[in-house]
Each structure stands twice: as C-alpha cells, then as structure tokens.
Amino acid sequence: MPSQNVSRMWPTPCFQASNLSMNQTGESMPETSSGYRPREPQNSPYYQCIEDHFERFEQVYDDRFPKKYGFLRPYVMRVIYRYLDCGILHNGFARVRCGDCGHEYLLAFSCKRRHFCPSCHQKRVVEFGEWLCEEVLKAVPHRHFVFSIPKILRRYFLYDRSLLSDLSRCGWESLKVFFQGTTPEQNAIPGAVIAIQSFGDFLGFHPHLHILGTDGCFYGEGMFRVAPSFELKALEEIFRHKVFKMLLAKEKTTEDLVDMLMKWRHSGFNVFCGPRIQPGDEEAMENLARYIVRASFSQERMSYISEESKVVYQSKDGKEEKVFDALEWLAAMCSHVPYRDPEYPIEGYTSS
C-alpha cells in the first residue's frame, strides 16, 4: 500500500482563490482530491440548530430543564464546542500526501466525540463492530438481551449517572447466575459484552442494557455447553432482585417503595431475548455489535424549522412525529451524552 505522509496544520485563516487554498505562510495547497469530499457538517440541519441556539441554551438551562433532563454537566458544553469545530477545514486540518505519487489532499480535524457528533460516532460504531467480531467474540452461539427497568426508577439514574455502571453490573450478574443454573458443570461461566443506552424513540431518558451474550456457558479447558430452552421470567426476577438490592445499598430508594413495586402485577422490569445467532453468521453478529452502540438519534429523522426555532423528529417506523422547541431538543440530546468516552464492559469468558 502506498506510504502516506501527514503534516498537521493548526487553525489559521484560509482563503479560497479559484480552486487554490492558501495558508498563513502563503503556501499554495492542492485542490481537494476528487476521491475525497469534505462532509461540510455546517450545512446540515443538525449543525445549524446547534449553532443557532447553543449559547441561549447554556444561559437558560438551569431555569428550564434540570427537572426533566438532569443537571447540565460541564463536560457536555465542551462536547458541543468541539463538535462545532469538527470537520471544518478552517478550524484545522492535516495535509495527507502519498509518498509514491505525490498526490495530496486536506483532511479536516475531527472532534472524536461519541453520541453527539454523528460522523465521529458512526466511525467508532463501525470500528467497534469489526473489532468485537474479529478480536473478542468466541465462535459459539450468541443472543441479544435487553434489560429494562420501570419508569419510576429512572429518575435515580438521571440525577446520578454513576448508577448506570451499577446497572450494568446487575445485568451481568443476573445473566451469569441464570446461565450457570442451566449448566451441570462446575465453575461454568458465560461471556457478555454490555452496552448502556439511555434513550428511547423520542429521546426520552430510558436507561436500559443491551447485552451481546453467549447462549450458554464455557467450562473446563475452553469447552462450551449450549443452553437448553429457558424461561425469561426467571431471568427477569433475578434482574429485579439485583437492581432493588443495589438501589437499597446505595440508599437511593426505600424498603416501602420496593415492597410496593414487588406487589405490582406488571413490575415494569422486562428482559428481551433475541433469536440464537450461530457462529458462522458473521454479518448478523457484526450488525448486532454495531446496533448495541448506535447513536442516540438519527439526522435523517429530524427536520429543523429555523424560522420557528422548532425541531420535528420522526419515530423509527415513520408513523409518528414529535415537535420540539429547539432548546428542548438540545436538552434532550445532551441528556444522552456519556461522561468521557463510554466503556462497554466485556464480562466472563469473553474477557479472557
């Protein structure tokens, strides 16, 4: 593969003269390659909405949005500023040159922020899916599990984001205990990759777990026993017990509330289990790996009405839509930005 040299060009004024750009030293730089097209994020409705309203959003947030969307974390504002500079040549770029033919093109710096920048997040999604399937997952059957909690408990996780890691641990421990109960071998253990998602179809705060787990347990020297058919209700009950125990230990809830929820006919806890994915189905496995770390929203489903400061967002099936005030749209978006880069715990045998 031809070698490439990359030189970094930090933010400087750039002027367009016909098809030629110039940096501050007066050097002429070649026209962008016909094979590479800058994505020009500033032309998207998403970018325009953020650029139009983010300053006002920061000013009014504490008065309007904490009750519904949680506190505005300082890190979120840094993410927004980084996104507004992302992918724009004027804000800095690298000059990429082929060492063999001498061809050059300019590559704008990216913000590398997940869940807020659509481009950077999608790149990480693709890389994560490939890495997981090529380097991590074992060649055994897997299933997709989704663990959900009642609405009445979600506010604890909205105001204390550290609880999301504890929720992840509850999901893993529930799955481990459940599958160990289906396997006769001693010291058997399943494997799992866990992704925490906090969003629903219309960006409401809905913390839940997506788990790509082995459909059975490993034992001995790398042996694997496929799980027999099982009843999800038992797994749901284990998960409910683990979550209540965790919230009580953290002093986030009371015994009275737990007793009340235990008496509900429909507890609000739910566990979904998808069909078995065989080890040879690489496409299905990679698609699922990408799905569990997908972005919280889709640019294709939003429309920005700048004259009215409104955002119209369609449901996934396209049958419904919700109209947001632009500031509330930003508040909903920011409630799903994880602190720093999110981690996806790899548990059990899969972590070895």
Taking only the tens place, the pLDDT of each residue in 64-91 is 999 999 999 988 999 999 999 998 888 8
Question: What pLDDT sits at residue 92?
Answer: 85
Nearest alpha carbon to residue 79 among 126, 112, 42, 39: 112
Task: Pick out the chain residues at pLDDT < 70.
Answer: 1-39, 340-343, 352
Does the predicted model carry a pTM greater than 0.75?
yes
- Going by C-alpha positions, the residue among 103, 114, 90 that lies closest to residue 40 is 90
Tell me, what's the pLDDT at 16?
Answer: 33
What local confidence, expressed as pLDDT, does residue 96 receive?
A: 87
What beta strand segments (E) does the chain contain?
Answer: 4-9, 15-17, 20-22, 28-29, 93-98, 104-108, 142-148, 191-199, 205-214, 216-219, 223-226, 270-273, 302-305, 310-314, 321-325, 346-348
What's the pLDDT score for residue 36? Answer: 56
What pLDDT is recorded for position 110?
87
| 75's tokens | 């890190």
As beta bridge partners, residue 322 has 313
Task: State CA 79 to chain mean position distance.
Answer: 14
What is the tens place of the pLDDT at every residue in 269-290? 999 999 999 999 999 999 999 9
Please provide residue 258's backbone torsions phi and psi, each rounded to the nearest 5 degrees.
Answer: -60, -45
pLDDT in tens, 11-48: 433 333 233 333 433 444 444 445 556 667 888 999 99
Please tell me what DSSP assigns to residue 203. S
Residue 329's closest CA among 351, 288, 296? Answer: 296
Question: Cβ(39)–Cβ(299) under 8 Å?
Answer: no
